[in-house]
Amino acid sequence: MKVSASVPARINIIGEHTDHFGGLSLTFSSQHRLDFTASMRKDGSRGNQTVISLWEAAGGWSADLNVDSDIPVGAGLSSSAALCVAIVMCSQNNTDPMEVSLEAQRIENQVLRSNCGLMDQISITHSKEGIATLLDFSRMSIEEFRMPEDWRFKLVDTGIRRSLSETKYSSPEIKIGTRRTHAKEESSRVMTALNSDARALGTILNESHASISESIRASTPEIDSTVKEIQNTAGVLGARLMGGGFGGMILALVEEEDALPGELLISSRSAFLQETL
């Protein structure tokens, strides 16, 4: 037996560090994808040891495990969540989006020891091509949102990589009240974004980064400097650090495609099982 899954990266437009506090996030899945294949074998699983551990935690059978991904690791694009979602779908032959999300979170918490919420998993299992997803973690509700045509995004790599388990976001250094306040204010920014044109959204992204840096201290002076440089680039309407923090990708909102190097982000389809043989 051979089973494969294709899983996208998650792009969080606005609503960072809100899922643990019943907040809101507005996300979509990008063109970056992870492909995972499990081929049955008789005498134990073969592959990367971390992948094997996740596979076994999900109840996977003896298999050759292969990962082919263009989602950069530690870049704030949900590479670990994408891997866990793919493993759950293949090991359990499960395509129910919420069941897959919850199980993927469980094995990531258990094996990778990251205190991740559910934003990444829900985003990449519930997304639709050309559509953003509004997540409300207080009600665990999911709504579709069609992005305005003038919302054009690009990624800028800080060149810094951190794993979720290495970040200080959940440490006692940042009081839970401060994190809760950030989540409340960030959720308010999500609601404002829903009725914003690109220029207004750019201001919202800048405000989000200021809170990420100053309130919950999930940035660094080096990253702040890079974000400020991008924010001040002609043709850029706003920018912020995306993901768990302390490294990874900066999300930039641009007026035109040539404002920054690289390709525009494209909203793609959600995670799916490719084949079962």
Domain boundaries, the chain: 2-145+266-276, 153-259
Quick one: which of 111, 220, 96 has its CA closest to 168? 220
Q: What is the pTM of this model?
A: 0.93
CA-to-CA distance for 261 and 39, rounded, in angstroms? 39
The token pair that represents 257 in the structure block: 């495609």
Q: Which residues pair with 240 in a beta bridge?
A: 251
- DSSP 8-state code for residue 136: E
Q: How far is CA 205 from CA 55, 181, 201, 237, 257, in A?
A: 37, 17, 6, 9, 18
Quick one: which of 160, 179, 167, 137 has its CA closest to 222? 160
The token pair that represents 16 in the structure block: 């960072």
Contact 18, 136 (CB under 8 A): no
Strands (E), the chain: 2-14, 24-40, 63-69, 132-136, 141-145, 153-157, 236-241, 249-254, 272-276
User: What is the Cα Rg of the chain in Å?
Assistant: 18
**What tens-digit pLDDT sequence spans the chain (277 residues)?**
899 999 999 999 999 999 999 999 999 999 999 999 999 999 999 999 999 999 999 999 999 999 999 998 888 889 999 999 999 999 999 999 999 999 999 999 999 998 889 999 999 999 999 999 999 999 999 999 999 999 999 999 999 986 554 555 455 678 999 999 999 999 999 999 999 999 999 999 999 999 999 999 999 999 999 999 999 999 999 999 999 899 999 999 999 999 999 999 999 999 999 877 6
Rounded (5°) CA angle 272-276-277? 160
Q: Can you say whether the dihedral through the CA atoms of 165, 168, 173, 179 is positive or negative? A: negative
CA-to-CA distance for 15 and 6, rounded, in angstroms? 25
Write the CATH number of the domain with boundaries 2-145+266-276.
Answer: 3.30.230.10
153-259: CATH, from 3.30.70.890, 2.60.40.10, 3.30.70.100, 3.40.50.1000: 3.30.70.890
CA-to-CA distance for 197 and 179, rounded, in angstroms? 28
The token pair that represents 236 in the structure block: 């850029």
